[in-house]
A = this chain, B = another copy of it.
Amino acid sequence: MSKKLGVAIVGSTGYGGVELIRLLASHPQAEVTSVISSSSAGTPITEGYPHLTGIREELLDDVDAATIKSKADVVFLATPPGVASKLAPELLAAGLKVIDLSGDFRLKSPALYEQWYKKPAADEEHLGKAVFGLSEIYAENVRGADFISNPGCYPTATTLGLFPAVKAGFIDPATIIIDAKSGVSGAGRGASLGTHYSELNENLRAYKVNQHQHIPEIEMILSDAAGAEVVTTFTTHLVPMTRGIMSTMYASVRGDRSLNDFLELYRSFYEGRPFVRIRPEGQWPATKEVWGSNYCDIGFALDSRTNRITIVSVIDNLVKGAAGQAVQNLNLMMGWDETLGLQFVPAYP
């Protein structure tokens, strides 16, 4: 067997990092050669994650570009906001390919980043270089790129559900309303009252209404689809479950379209893209139906009384919404089949 591509993961002790380890464990062409955590360097990864006992027993590495380069060709950055903006330039300069899972390089305008993220933005040069890796929409840009900015979880579920209809002019972008719901793992592993079991179990809460930092990212993608600036209403809710995002989306239909017109549009748009599954009329995707997998499932209802379309899109936030799409982008970057290492059947029930 030929040698596999070496891959390093910075931020291996977060949920995004540990999910990359899970997915890449069965990748036929790539292997994780360095697991890195600046905060826990020198300790075994099994200390924080005993589920890796017997699977990965090595000590966590510290972040150092030269050392990484000696072990790997590609680096995944699964770091908190504000870290990758400093780290990526250095890693790129060392000759590494970089896939950043954080939000640091998604927005092209530093001002917009600073407005929504309340942190200093990355430099404009690198913002310009980062290719936005929404795999099903921008695969052409990703192929052969060296530096990928991986999309956010909410934007992935939402824009995969809206892009074809906006692009084709089937719906009026000014009427789009997005009601999004997420499992708790999207908040990461950091302990806080907001992620405390007794506060979230048997509870449903709205949060960051109109203020979520994924709003400008969603609008960036939808504006690209529309060929004009799109402004949306976007609400997020925390659901008592660990994994899963559902975006329920509403828009007014332009002209006289049937539900079948929508189904055909989407099937045609996503033809040959195995991770998007269009559900037949009357069938609504549930988050568990994509749990642990890289799928994005989309269902539709057209209400003749209001001429509005309702679109429901679901993903596993840690897979298609983070680590899975990052691996998909790795595959595209390397010119491989985009499904390599990602052919997990959803774990049901």
Which residues in A have some Cβ–Cβ distance to B below 8 Å? Answer: 15, 18, 21-22, 25-26, 49-55, 177, 179, 181, 183-185, 187, 189, 191-193, 195-207, 209-210, 231-233, 235, 237, 239-244, 246, 248, 250, 274, 277, 279, 283-292, 295, 297, 299, 301, 303, 305-306, 308, 310, 312, 314, 343-349
If A53-B277, A177-B308, A205-B288 are given as contacts, then 4 extra A-B residue pairs at C-beta distance below 8 Å, sorted by A number, are A53-B297, A55-B345, A189-B199, A235-B310
A305: chain B residues at CB < 8 Å are: 210, 231
Cross-chain contact A237 with B248 (CB below 8 angstroms): yes
| A-B pairs with lowest CB-CB distance, top 8 | A205-B286, A203-B288, A51-B289, A179-B179, A198-B349, A22-B345, A51-B346, A209-B301
A22: chain B residues at CB < 8 Å are: 345-348
Given contacts A198-B349, A237-B181, contact A292 B292 (CB under 8 A): yes
A163–B16 alpha-carbon span in the complex (Å): 38
A263 → B minimal CB distance (Å) = 14
**From A184, A200, A243, residue with most partner B Cβ within 10 Å:** A200
A47 → B minimal CB distance (Å) = 10
The one of B25, B204, B244, B312 in contact with A202, judged by C-beta atoms closer than 8 angstroms, is: B244
A233: chain B residues at CB < 8 Å are: 250, 303, 306, 308, 310
A244–B303 alpha-carbon span in the complex (Å): 27
A237: chain B residues at CB < 8 Å are: 181, 246, 248
A235: chain B residues at CB < 8 Å are: 179, 248, 250, 310
Given contacts A54-B277, A198-B189, A310-B233, contact A241 B299 (CB under 8 A): no
A348–B23 alpha-carbon span in the complex (Å): 11
A285 → B minimal CB distance (Å) = 7
A21: chain B residues at CB < 8 Å are: 345
A312: chain B residues at CB < 8 Å are: 206, 209
A274 → B minimal CB distance (Å) = 7
Cross-chain contact B202 with A201 (CB below 8 angstroms): yes
